[in-house]
């Protein structure tokens, strides 16, 4: 048995693990096998991921340092130590990102007639068109702010595009502050498409920053512009709500959202032409240090380039079009309730369509035999068909109850808006349990059939978001099995009412039983291995951080359990430590789709239990969220999940990154014919339409 307290060297720091994942995302932009416009997308995804990393994780480290927090994670790093290492790694990765953009992606796009025309390369015709655009579209809405005692440094929105302008001379009032700030309104596009005849190529674009640089002097009549430098500040976006004093969560959250854009600054990005004096001035305005400065060779916000692939009609430079399939059970039977009564229906997104989930709620809304619908929402789209069906159901007089998680990070405003629309339609809207985010993915329909009421449920690993369902891998199950349905009903009763937690028949639920049952299942495999029998664990998830689970896995490894962990993102466990984790392998799959499924397999003397879950192996999922983990009781579904959700990912030798003992990752060497899990599943389930070349 392992000692009670494990060596901190056995654990990987959470922030460093997140950065390691983002480095794997950045590697997709380097990969020549990835279509060119998709490589540009991966550069944008990396930028978006890093934005959130600074808004949440770096902000958290800075707050720990600011308030002298005594908290030290299992990795043993002090917040100051972690922040210093994070800063070093992040600077290196951002420098690499811009090198890939400037030295590889942009030149190759230019060769394909997709050009971002720099200010120094404009010809007379382009200069004339751009000037007209500036005076017509930009000049009327720009507000330059000269800095003086009457005009202090403006409040700069989180992640907004701004320009610091160095000036010389006096204005109409005799003022000479030397510096002005121009904020680019968020309504303005950051990339402007030029007409083909003006661009001189099929797809020509110019950056908003270039247009402002060229014409900024028009904003300061009679003065000389000595320099114009774009900058962007990233802020702490954490929302602080007092659980004890909050009487109306939605009202309190609406008040807090307005302040999110003005949290403490955590990062300053400037263009590489910004002189040291101006950078120091800006750092001082935001209370930042040199360590927080990121000087980049190009746009300070690459996320805005995400629009380019969609606006360029070049299918040969994108992933081949993919059409997900429908389950065979639903091709034969249009009545979804009749189909579910025949057998459980397993859905594997995005390889299979999300439409059956939409149809499940749509048919429930329209069916006169349906009396009630209950559903949880953590994230959904602004144009959610599911939400519209629930509103229609409520308007038809059905009992509709929706548990909306208002504190889903960065989706709070959208969820507040949907909550108001649902209430206006007559639905019951609740916000779960204060202090515990409702992260469980479940829907229940109550239908009158002959002389009884039957419950139909949908439970899943992913959100009810019809757009991300085309991009994220997830499993869902439609079933009317009585005991599963009763468990789901009991969880809904906890969320909407009051009372003690009931004992569930099959579901493991956080914050009550999920952690205990998961650790026990791992320990059971260890006991089996110690008895000399075969023991195996395979787990696929987004993140592995919980110290108790990691300790249980280490202990199982020492007992001889063969453990395969497929962890897309951060993994705090170190494989291959002699005498500790020699029987553990950790891999991460990064590819076309975002791996999002949570699958837990335990051999258990040949019983081969498989559970699907909304929860990762993290402390927050086990103890600060409402989560469910459900077994696959249908033998056919269980075989399918193993064959599709685990086996291909263990076999992948193209997009699989293997974690080394030191915590670094290396692409698995391709010693045989290339095999890609996601490609295999697309071929199994859908129809891939190859582009014309």
Q: Which residues have a catalytic role annotated?
A: 439
Cβ(245)–Cβ(192) below 8 Å: no
Closest CA to 641 of 612, 620, 664, 618: 612
Structure tokens at 636: 């056919």
Structure tokens at 143: 């507000």
Q: What's the rounded Cα separation, in Å, for the pair 90 and 259?
A: 27
Beta strand ranges found along 505-608 (DSSP E): 508-510, 536-541, 562-567, 584-589, 594-595, 599-602
DSSP 194: E
Q: What's the rounded Cα separation, in Å, for the pair 370 and 362?
A: 11
383 burial level (CB within 10 Å; 0-12, 13-18, 19+): exposed
**Over the range 142-153, which residues count as b (16 or more CB within 10 Å of their CB) and which as e?**
bebbbbeeeeee
Count of Cβ atoms closer than 10 Å to residue 31 Cβ: 16
**Over the range 428-451, which residues count as b (16 or more CB within 10 Å of their CB) and which as e?**
ebbbbeeebbbbbbbbbbbbeeee
Q: Tell me which residue has tokens 């043993």.
A: 76
Cβ(260)–Cβ(410) below 8 Å: no
Any binding-site annotation on 232? Answer: no
Q: What's the rounded Cα separation, in Å, for the pair 123 and 117?
A: 10
Any binding-site annotation on 596? Answer: yes
Question: Checking DSSP bridges between strand 625-631 and strand 437-438, what pairing results, if any?
Answer: parallel
Any binding-site annotation on 417? Answer: no
Q: What's the rounded Cα separation, in Å, for the pair 90 and 61?
A: 14
CA distances from 260 to 107, 154, 236, 238 (A): 38, 16, 7, 7
Count of Cβ atoms closer than 10 Å to residue 561 Cβ: 26
Query: Is it true that the peptide bond before 406 is cis, omega within 30 degrees of 0?
Result: no
Structure tokens at 525: 């495999």
Give the containing element (helix H, strand E) for 209.
helix 208-215
Beta strand ranges found along 423-528 (DSSP E): 428-430, 437-438, 441-449, 452-460, 472-479, 508-510
Any binding-site annotation on 472? Answer: yes
Structure tokens at 643: 């064959």
**Over the range 113-126, which residues count as b (16 or more CB within 10 Å of their CB) and which as e?**
ebbbbeeeebeeeb
DSSP, collapsed to helix, strand or coil, labels residue 109 as: helix
Give the containing element (helix H, strand E) for 621.
helix 619-623
Q: Tell me which residue has tokens 């000399």.
A: 532
DSSP 155: P
Q: What's the rounded Cα separation, in Å, for the pair 47 and 355?
A: 31
Count of Cβ atoms closer than 10 Å to residue 319 Cβ: 18
CA distances from 445 to 158, 187, 358, 404 (A): 42, 41, 13, 17
Closest CA to 28 of 100, 116, 110, 135: 100
Structure tokens at 398: 């059905």
End-to-end alpha-carbon separation of the chain, Å?
Answer: 60
How many CA atoms lie within 13 Å of 14's alpha carbon, on the beta-carbon side?
20
Q: Tell me which residue has tokens 């007092």.
A: 242
- The strand pairing partners of 163, in sequence order, are 182, 230
Any binding-site annotation on 568? Answer: yes
List binding-site positions.
Answer: 49, 379, 409, 472, 568, 596
List binding-site positions for Mg(2+).
Answer: 379, 409
List binding-site positions for ATP.
Answer: 49, 472, 568, 596
């Amino acid at each position: 048995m392992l000692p009670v307290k494990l060596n901190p060297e056995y654990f990987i720091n959470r922030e460093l693990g997140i950065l390691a994942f983002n480095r794997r995302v950045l590697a997709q932009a380097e990969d020549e096998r990835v279509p060119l416009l998709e490589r540009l997308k991966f550069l944008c995804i990396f930028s978006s991921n890093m934005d959130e990393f600074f808004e949440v994780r770096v902000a958290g480290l800075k707050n720990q340092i600011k308030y002298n927090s005594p908290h030290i994670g299992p990795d043993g790093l002090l917040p100051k130590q972690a922040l210093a290492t994070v800063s070093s790694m992040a600077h290196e990765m951002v420098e690499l990102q811009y090198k890939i953009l400037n030295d590889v992606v942009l030149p190759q796009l230019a060769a394909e007639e997709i050009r971002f025309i720099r200010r120094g390369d404009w010809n007379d015709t382009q200069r004339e068109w751009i000037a007209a655009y500036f005076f017509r579209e930009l000049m009327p809405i720009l507000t330059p702010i000269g800095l003086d005692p009457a005009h202090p440094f403006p409040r700069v929105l989180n992640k907004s595009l701004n320009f610091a302008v160095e000036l010389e001379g006096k204005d109409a009032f005799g003022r000479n502050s030397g510096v002005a700030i121009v904020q680019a309104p968020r309504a303005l596009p950051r990339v402007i498409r030029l007409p083909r005849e003006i661009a001189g190529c099929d797809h020509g674009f110019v950056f908003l920053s270039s247009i402002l640089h060229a014409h900024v002097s028009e904003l300061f009549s009679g003065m000389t512009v000595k320099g114009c430098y774009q900058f962007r500040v990233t802020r702490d976006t954490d929302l602080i709500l007092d659980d004890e004093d909050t009487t109306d969560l939605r009202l309190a959250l609406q008040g807090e959202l307005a302040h999110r854009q003005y949290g403490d600054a955590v990062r300053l990005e400037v263009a590489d032409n910004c002189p040291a004096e101006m950078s120091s001035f800006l750092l001082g305005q935001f209370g930042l240090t040199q360590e927080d400065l990121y000087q980049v060779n190009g746009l300070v916000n690459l996320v805005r380039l995400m629009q380019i692939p969609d606006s360029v009609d070049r299918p040969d430079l994108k992933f081949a079009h993919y059409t997900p399939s429908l389950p065979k059970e639903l091709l034969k039977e249009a009545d979804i309730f009749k189909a579910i009564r025949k057998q459980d229906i397993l859905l594997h997104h995005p390889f299979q369509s999300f439409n059956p989930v939409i149809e499940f709620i749509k048919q429930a809304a329209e069916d006169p035999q349906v009396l009630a619908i209950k559903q949880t929402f953590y994230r959904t789209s602004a144009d959610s068909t599911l939400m519209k069906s629930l509103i229609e159901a409520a308007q038809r007089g059905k009992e509709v109850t929706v548990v909306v998680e208002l504190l889903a990070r960065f989706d709070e405003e959208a969820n507040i808006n949907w909550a108001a629309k649902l209430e206006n339609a007559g639905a019951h809207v609740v916000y779960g349990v204060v202090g515990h985010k409702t992260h469980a993915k479940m829907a229940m329909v109550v239908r009158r059939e002959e002389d009884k009421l039957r419950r139909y449920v949908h439970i899943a690993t992913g959100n009810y978001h019809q757009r991300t369902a085309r991009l994220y891998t997830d499993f869902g199950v439609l079933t009317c099995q009585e005991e599963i349905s009763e468990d789901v009903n009991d969880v809904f009763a906890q969320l909407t009412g009051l009372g003690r937690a009931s004992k569930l028949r099959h579901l493991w639920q956080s914050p009550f039983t999920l952690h205990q049952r998961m650790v026990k299942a791992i320990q059971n495999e260890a006991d089996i291995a110690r008895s000399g029998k075969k023991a195996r664990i395979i787990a696929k998830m987004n993140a592995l951080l919980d110290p108790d689970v990691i300790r249980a896995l280490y202990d199982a490894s020492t007992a001889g359990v063969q453990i395969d962990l497929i962890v897309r993102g951060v993994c705090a466990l170190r494989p291959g430590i002699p005498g500790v984790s020699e029987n553990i392998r950790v891999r991460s799959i990064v590819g076309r789709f975002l791996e999002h499924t949570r699958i837990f397999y335990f051999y258990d003397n040949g019983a081969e239990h498989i559970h699907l879950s909304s929860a990762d192996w993290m402390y927050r999922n086990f103890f600060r969220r409402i989560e469910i983990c459900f077994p696959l009781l249908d033998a056919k579904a269980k075989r399918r999940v193993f064959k599709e959700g685990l086996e291909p990912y263990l076999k992948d030798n193209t997009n699989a990154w293997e974690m080394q003992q030191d915590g670094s990752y290396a692409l698995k060497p391709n010693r045989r014919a290339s095999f890609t899990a996601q490609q295999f599943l697309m071929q199994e389930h859908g129809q891939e339409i190859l582009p014309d070349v």
